[in-house]
Structure 1
Amino acid sequence: MVTDAAVVVAALSTASALWLWTGPTTATTRLAKLTADHREPRWRSLPGLFTRQSPGRRAQAWRLASIELCQALSAELSAGRTPGEALTRAVAAVDFPDPAALRPIVAAARDGGDVAAALLASAPPQGGEGLRQLAACWDVSVTVGAGLAALVERVASTLRAAQAHRQDVAAQLAGPRTTARMLAALPALGLLMAAALNMHPLDFLLGSLPGFACLVTGIILDACGLWWTSRMAARAQG
């Protein structure tokens, strides 16, 4: 029995080492994320699929679109167009996750309405930071008379820096996330190895009350560990 236990421990250690050796490194993950920024976002080429995206991916899409909007608006203003015309052209040039949400902004910019209020109303709760900052810039420009182009360019620079920080944090968290998934899968691997060694672990787990209690407790603890790791990673990414 001691020899069998030693074999199981050795097998688990070998599997863990192979996982860590072949798993993605932080540098590899960061390189993939940086190169992915130059590819066309998936939600643009598959608009029907976007509605099934997670809230995190939807917020990410809004952030990227907001950066593009600020860059396009800054370019239009630098070309000498009026703020309303520049915003209308900039919105038309950017593929937003929900184009219908931008219609009040275009209407306000075209008809001389309250653009700042329209930007605030159209900004989603998650991922709408760029639109809210752009609304503040528009309000300051209208109220104080400050140069809108300079304000928009500063907002675009801030949004780009924040996006780069989120990507860096996500790359740094890739290793811990992979380790957490590996640790969550190790109990199942242990059961398979025990069964291969003719230890009949399922007979104990499913055939007796103490074994079933151990099984339920293990599953709950495993799920809680994954949930807690995911929550900490989400908080770290902001």
Structure 2
Amino acid sequence: MRVSGMSAVESLRTWWSASNDPDVRALVAGLAIALNLGGPAVDGLEGLSAALRARDAVRNEALSLATQSRLSALVVAAAPLLFLVIGGAANPGSLAQLVGSWAGRACLLGGLALDALGAFWMSRIVNTVA
């Protein structure tokens, strides 16, 4: 069978070479096998379709979980800062003590450094999964 001057096998080979998408390459391989072996290709292509849908569902689930993890990391990193602002607004004396003494400033800077380190660590964990 020829379409546009190319045989079906040549067309599949061109499609394979032009695409880096593993799903397209799996489809091309399935079509090439069906074309070379002859006979009904429906069962093989339906199996391939089911496998691609299942892989897509797993990929979507992983992206969803990664998004939830990013949001959790943001909340965990922002909570101490938010608590500092709310605590300072509710009791300005505690905020004055925190920034008014060397010990308070050391605690504040140490806490901010640990919070930044934790945020960096969580973002590395989340981004390696995504």
Which TM-score band (shorter chain)? Answer: 0.5 to 0.7
Give the structure 2 partner of residue 143 of structure 1.
36
The yes-or-no answer on 1:160 pairing with 2:53 is yes
Paired residues of 2:73 and 2:119 also in contact (CA < 8 A): no
Aligned-residue offset at 1:170? 4.4
Aligned-residue offset at 1:158? 1.7
Aligned-residue offset at 1:175? 4.8
Structure 1 residue matching 2:25: 3-state secondary structure: helix
The yes-or-no answer on 1:110 pairing with 2:7 is no
Residues 83-103 of structure 1 deviation map (CA, whole Å, 9 limit, x = unaligned): x7xxxxxxxxxxxxxxxxxxx
Structure 2 residue matching 1:130: 3-state secondary structure: helix
Number of residue-to-residue matches in the alignment? 123
Structure 2 CA distance for aligned equivalents of residues 171 and 139 of structure 1: 34
Higher RCO structure, 1 or 2 (CA under 8 Å, sep 6+)? 1
Taking a change above 3 Å as real, the CA distance of residues 194 and 111 of structure 1, as seen in their structure-2 partners, is farther
Taking a change above 3 Å as real, the CA distance of residues 176 and 222 of structure 1, as seen in their structure-2 partners, is closer
Residues 106-139 of structure 1 deviation map (CA, whole Å, 9 limit, x = unaligned): xxx6332523332322323xxx221010121132
Paired residues of 2:27 and 2:48 also in contact (CA < 8 A): yes
Structure 2 CA distance for aligned equivalents of residues 204 and 120 of structure 1: 68
User: Can you give the 5+ residue segments of structure 1 that lack an aligned partner in the other structure?
Assistant: 1-81, 85-108
Paired residues of 2:70 and 2:126 also in contact (CA < 8 A): yes
Of the candidates 119, 122, 125, which is equivalent to residue 18 of structure 2?
122
How high is the sequence identity, in percent, across the aligned residues?
Answer: 16
- Give the TM-score, by structure 2 length: 0.65
More helix by share: 2
Aligned-partner residue type, residue 12 of structure 2 = A
Decide which structure has the larger Cα Rg and report it: 2
